[in-house]
Structure formats: structure tokens, C-alpha cells
Structure 1
Amino acid sequence: MINKTKWFTLSEKVQGNIIIPQYYDPWRDDKNVKVFSKVRFLGGYENGLGYIEVQMLYSNIENIFNDESLKNVKILMTADKNVFYARNISETEMKDYYKLLSKFTNVEIDFSSLDKNDNELIAIRYLPKQKIAIFLIFDRTLIERPLKISRNSVLLFGLLIIFISLFFIYFMTNQFTKPIRELKSKVDKININNLSQRIVLENTNDEIKALNKAFQNLLDRLNEAINKEMKYKLLQMKANLEALQAQVNPHFIYNILNIISHRGLLNKDKEICEICSSLASMLRYSTSASSRIATLKDEVEHVRNYLNLMKKRYEDKLEYFIEFQEEVLNQKVPKLILQPIVENSFTHGFENKTDKMKVWIKGYEKDNWWYVEVKDNGQGFDDEALINIKREIENIKRSFNYNEEIEGFEIGKIGLLNTYARMMIFYKNKFVFDIGNSNENGGAVVLLGGEIEVNREEGER
């Protein structure tokens, strides 16, 4: 009976352990029961003691591989390169898998793909001691399908997140920039004719309000500067007109002075000639319209001519002293700022003077500023007059700063206030103009000053 079993012949050949694939059990009454077995030869005597066969139902193997998760998986199990178990595998495919097995007989587990079919993913488990190989052949598309679904879901979700982010960024940016765009739109409509117009923003925040306020302040200052410049231009035009009026027939006056000077020469009266010469120089200097700016040297020469005339009148009752440093003589100043101040001493300071009249004019440099001090030994300014003059000076300053009309001020009147106004126009508030009384003799003291500039051109300020 044993000689007729399937495994006997195989065991005879290998003389040792052997696993017998599925076959029908000959020992059972039911000949349709499939089993698989392991047979071992027992040696010890000349022909051996015999064989031990251990059987298991083949259905146990089928139950193992009938798991739901392996439903779509091809399965091949071999024992000593004999088919032990196969499912969903054709004969042609088995040949290919056997070829593949020969490459991995020394590897316990590996994953590979058949060269002829990239749609399959094969897992191989090889047990070298038992010489059992298990093939699990997966359909690559079935494995990759959930991966593709996950990938597509992630991509779709990522795109959705990006879209939502872009929309949120657009919405927030639009909200944040709306006040700026509104401000820009209204700023674009600003021109020189509507600088005083107020900009009102409907939708804004604190930062834009601050920006709008700063811009509005800038417009106000610009409008103020334009109005001030226009006022300066009007004053300049008015001064030019009055200067032109002062030049009407100047040659007639010069001719008369020449006649008087000639008569003085005939009568051998040198004083008349000197008076005519000084007066002609003063007229020529004051009526010249070629420039509204002079140097301190020109101003000193003009004052010297004026004092020479006053000396002819008052003779020994008048003394004057002029002292200037060379560093300040070339400084540019508005024309006719010194002579009116000196003339003010004779008009008001010496009005009730009985003793000798004295005038001191001193020019010097200090801390990169030039200064001219004019003082006399007259009766000085009384308190009321000094208060009135300083109040008028403040009114002029305020009028220029706030573009107001200067009440009671005329360009044609040359005096202290006129000198102050012209220096303000020329130096734009960066100058010194101080009046008071001397502590030494009680006379009037007027101090003028400005920054020393090497190259000040006419009209620069």
C-alpha cells in the first residue's frame, strides 16, 4: 500500500524530508479529501526503519488564503519548486513566476515587478529551510487607486485652501487699501485753485486719518506759502512802481545841482560844491533801480554822504564815528537800511538837544553773523513810543506769517518799520532787528544783523 502512495517514489529519490503538495488521501474512506503532508525517512538500519508522514487537510491552506483582504490577489505557493497552492494563476504566468523565483531564492522577502507586466506588484516570501516560496501578486492599479484618490483629495484640498487664502488676502487687502485708494483719488483732484479744500474720508482707520491730517497740514502750509509769496510779489511790485515814480526827471535835479555847484566854484565856495556832490551821490544811490540789494560798504558810503550834509548844517555841534570790520563790508543787504535809522536820530533823537550831537555806527562780525549798531546821545525812545514801535513790529511779523494785511504801512515811507519789513522779506525771519535805549547816555540804540553768506545773489531770498 505504501509503495503506491504519491510521496513514496519522491522520498525514495531524495532520501530525506519532503513536502508533498495536495493530493487525495488514500487512507481515508472518502477518497475525495485533499491533503498535503510532510514525509521524513527514518534511517538506522541497512534499508532504514521506514517513513513518517504528517498530513494536514488542504482546506486549511485554502482557509488561510481565503481572507477578504486577499480577494483580488493572485496567490502561488511552491514547495521545493513544486506548486503547493495556486489561485487565479494561469499556466503561462506560473512559468514566469518560477523564473522570478530563481532570482530570489536567497532572500526571505522582496517586492518586484515582472518585466513583461508592470501592472503587477509581487511580494515573495521564501523559506530556505523548508524550500517553500509564497507569491502574492497584487494588481498595481488596485493598490494605487486609493493612493491616487488620496493624492487627488490632497491636491483638491490644497487648491481649495489656496483659493480660500487668495480670496481672503484679496478681501483683506481690498479692505485695508480702500481708504488709501479713496485718499489717492481725492488727492489727485487737488490743484492750486482748491488747496484750502478739506478732504473728508468716509471709510478709514486711525493710520489713514493721521496720514490725511498730515497731508491736510501740508496743503495748508503750501497754501500759506503761496499766499505769502504772492503778497511778497505785490509788495515788490508796489516798491518798484514807487521807485520808478521817484526817478521822474532825475536829470533835471542833477542839472540844478550842477548849476548850484558851478555858482559855488565861481564864488570860490567849496562847501557848496561839497554839499552838491554829496547830495548828488545820495540821489543817484537812492533813485537807482538797477538793484534792490546793496553791500554794507555801499550803505556806509551813503550814510557818510548824509552825515557830511548834516555836518555842513550843524558844523561843530555834530560828531559822528563810523567803524566797520573788513569781514562784513561785502555782505549783501536790502538797499537803504542804515540811512533811515541815522536820519531818525536827527528827526526825533536830537529834537530838543542843546549840547553836542554824537552818532556812532559800528559794524562787526560775531559767530558767523554780521551786526551793525547805530546809536546816538539823543533823548532816546520814550516808553510809550518804544512800546508802540515794538507792537507795530509784531503786527508786521504776524501779518507776514499769517498773510494778513499790514494796517497803516506804506512802502513809500522810509523808516524803522519799513526797514524791518524789507529785512523780513530779504532774510525770511532769520535776522536781528532790535531797538532800545543806551544804558550809558540814554540815547537810542538800533541793532541790525544777519547770517554771513559769501555768495548771496539778488533775488535769492
Structure 2
Amino acid sequence: MWKKISTTFMDHLKVKHKLLGIYLIVTAIPILMVGAYLNYGTREIVLKNSISEAESNVDKLELRLQTIFNRVTSIADMLYINQNMKELLENEYASTLDVYNAYNRYPVFDDFLKYYDEVDTIQFFMTKDMITDSNFIYADSMIKQEAWYQEAVSKRGKLTWVYMTEHWTGNQRLALTRAVYGQSNDLLGVLAIYVSPDMLKSVVEAELHQVFITLDHEIIVFDSKRQHIGEKPSFLVEQPTNLENYVIDREFNSEQVKVNVHHFRPDKSLESTFQVSTLIPIEEVMEEPNQIFSRGFLVIVGALSISIVLIGVFIRSFHKRIQKLRRTMYQVAKGNFQMKQEVGGNDEISEVYRDLATTSQSVQRIIDEVYIHKIKEETWKRKQKEMDFKMLASQINPHFLYNTLEMIRMKAVLNKDPEVAKIVKMLSKMMRSALERTDRPVPITEEIEVITHYLEIQKLRFGDKFTYQMEIEEDAKAYHIFPLLIQPIVENAIIHGLEQKEEAGFIHIKMIEEDKSILIEVKDNGIGIPRDTLKEIQKNMVNNNYHSEGSRIGLHNVHQRLRLYYGEKYGLQMDSIEGLGTTMMIKIPKITSNHL
């Protein structure tokens, strides 16, 4: 019989039915039984642990509250014997100014308010009619009729804890009161030290359950939920015979709760007592175990259903991914290395697909490199031929040009024309410098020399209608700059800014050193540029696809060279006002000979 059942189960049923049956027998039923046992036991344990935890927490709360109240008591003692305060209150003052100065000389409460977080504020209700401020208050007839005032006076210096109204804000606060007497045993007033609600909040804010602090079983002075402050604590045992701690069952806010109560009496408090109570709502505590009990069975039933769905999803996903991998391998085998399909996941199938994709990319990269290499090789050969031609021309043209200019200069000297000789000499130096330069940084001093020759030629050309000024910091001369960056800007200023100006023209070149950069400013007083034209020029300067017209080295080329040589954060900035002139600003990094 067993063999027949085994054979039927293993040989004739489908795989999904076999997996489902094994899952139910081996996993589902044991989980149901164990889950029921654990959930029932958990419900009992949670209630006991909640009561035990509440007991431990209330012990801690009691100790912390004792510390707070004892510090307030210590402050009351120190103020009670404070001679400065008594001297302040007993002295006679001729004017209001004398009273004000006396307050400033004896800041009695400032240190306590500054260094003791347990205190919210301190107020002294004086019997003497003096100036009232935030701390010293004249006890008029209305204040003297207050119950807390009369109780403090009747106890003649004994400490009393009360729940009273703060004089200035009108808020209800827990306070320690004490009558203070002078040297001749006359009443100076009543001291009231208000306990900080924030400090009480900090003591109970980490508690899971609602915590109450009550005074003399009569009034709730603090509620962690701020709902019942100032009310009578109905959840306490009325007039207990002793101060022992206890746990009782009560109904509070229409729900059953367990109340854990601790009594304590602050130091030097003869009559006042405090109660710290934690309310443990039974339904709330048992809500989570009950939910866990219900959800546990739902999860198990859901897991059984989901497992069946997941098996079907797994089989379908596995088949689909295998088919994608097979089709991709077929495309690669046919020579198509552009793999469009993707196989997600991080299992063995996805790893095989990624390895196949890496192989295809490597093959495609090798093909591309061979193709690009051939293109570059052809381009290099063509450029090589052009360079050979230019080198041949460069061997002839410079010598011919230099010799011709030198001949003209000597003719001018022989003909006693020094001005022409000077122009030809500067032009010769400019041409020699331009033709002999490579596309590598040169000392700034060399670039300044070329610009000076150019400006001197222009000055001879325009005569009195053109002047210039160069302001170069000495420290900036120690650096290098790529050639032909400043001269095109100067030339642009003369051609487009000064040639069309009827009045005298002026160019100011300024070079200053900053933290990590050098700023070069070329400023002219030419005709300026209209706003629309200026915007178009600025737009073309940053357009990588824009090309200067003709053979002129335009502002676009200078800006692109700056960004190519130095990086994206460097370049050329342009500003102009029509009729007043144009300012060009070049920003370059500091480059020394050590960085070339």
C-alpha cells in the first residue's frame, strides 16, 4: 500500500502538485501548530512584562523626581539665608532710581535661573511696596488673600509644595513656597520657586504608557499626555493609610487599566507628598499580542497561497529568461553584436548574459578600433603632407620677410626717416615673434612686449588721437600664458571700438594677480556695442559650433582657446555700453615654468 501510494505520488503527479504536497506536510501544518502555541503563550508573557517594566520605570521616575525636587529645596534654602536679598528688601530707598540700582547690584535669582534647569522662574512676593519687576512682586491685598500665600505665612518658613497660578503668565505651575523673615523676625514676603514643566516632561517623555504626577492625592500637577493637568486623580486610592507602593485595577476614561503607584516625600517636606502613577491600559497592551495571534494564522495561510503563485511565477520567469538568452546568443552567432535584450537579476542566468554582453562589446570594440585606426592613419598621412608643405614654405617666407623689412628699415635710416625705421623695426619684431612661436605657454613678459610693439605702431598710425596705458603687477610677470590671447582682444578694441570714433581713443590694459588666477582687463573708450549685438556676440562666444567669418581671429576663437587650454571655468567675459566703451576680461590660471 505504501509503495503504491509512493509510486503514485512520485511518478504520476505533476511537479507543482508534488512541491505543494511536500510543503503542506513538512512546513505548513507544523508551523500552524507551533504558531498557535507561541501566540497564546506570548499574550500571557506580554502582560506580566508590561507590569514588571512599568514597576521598574516608576522606580526610576521616582528617583529622578526626587533629584529635581531636592534641588528646588536646596535653592529655597540658599535663598532663605541669602543676606543680599534680605539687605535688598530691608533697606530704605530715597528714590525709584535707588531701588532700580539696588536690583542691579543684587541679581539674586540670576545664577539660579541660569544654572538650574529644574527651575522655570523664581518670584518673591514682597510685603514692602517697592518697584515690581519679573522676579520681585509687591504683594498687594489681592495676593495676600490667595490661599497659597496665607498657607506659606501660616507655616512661618516651612516648605510647602503647591499647585498655583504664575503671576505674570497666568499659567498653572507646581511651585515650592516659603515665607522669608528679616533680621528682626519681620515678614519680608513669600518666595515661590516654580518647577520647570520641560524638566518634568524630560523625565517622563520616554515612557510608553501615560504617567501622572500628583500632589497629596488631590491634584494632577503633570500628565505626560497633557490632558488632565489640574484635575483630581480619580484613579488613586482615596486617603491611603500608608505610603506603600501598590498596583490596582481601575477604570479610567472608560477603559480598564492597571495603575502602578509610588509615593514619596521630598526632603524637608513635612506634609506634602507626591505620587507617580503609570496607567497600563489592558486592552492596549493585549492589542498587539491579539493582533499577532490573528495575523500569524493569516500570514501562514497567505504564505501557502503565495508559495503556489511564486512557484508558477518562477517557472514562467525562468523559461522567459532562458529564451531571451538563447535568442541573444543566436544573434551574436550571426554576427550581430548589438545586444538589445536584457536579462535582469543576479543569478547564474544573468551572469552568463553579462559575460556574453562583455564578449560582444569586446569584439565590437576591436572592430571599431581597427576601423578608427585606419581613418586616423589616413588623416595623419594627409596632415603630414600639409605639414611638409608648410615647413617648406616656412623655410622661405620668414627669411624673405625679415630681410625685406630690414632692407626697408635701413633705407629709412639712410634717408633720415627715424619714424619709419622705428615702425619697421617694431613690425619686424612682432612678425618674428609671431612666426617663431609654438602653441605652448610663453612668459607673460614676452606677450606684453609683443602687445607694446603693436600699440606703439598703432600710436604712430593714429598720432594724438590714440593713447594707451598698461598697468601690470610685478608678481603677475612671473607666470606664463599661451600666445596670441591678448593681442586679438587689443586689435578688436582698436578696429571695432576706436577707428570709428571721432574723438581721441584710449586703451587701458590691466593685469592683476588673485588667489589662484590672473585677471587681464582690456578696456577702451570706443563707440561701444548695442545691447542686441552684445547679446548675440556673447551667445556666439559660448557656441561650440560657431565659426568666425573669414580669416579673422574672432572673440569666439579666443574664448574657445582659453577653455581648451585652461578648462571650463576660465575664458573671456565681455561687457559694453553703447557710446561709452567696451571692457574685455580674461581669466587664466597661474602657470609657472615648473608646471610646463
TM-score by length of 1: 0.46
Bigger Rg over Cα: 1
TM-score by length of 2: 0.37
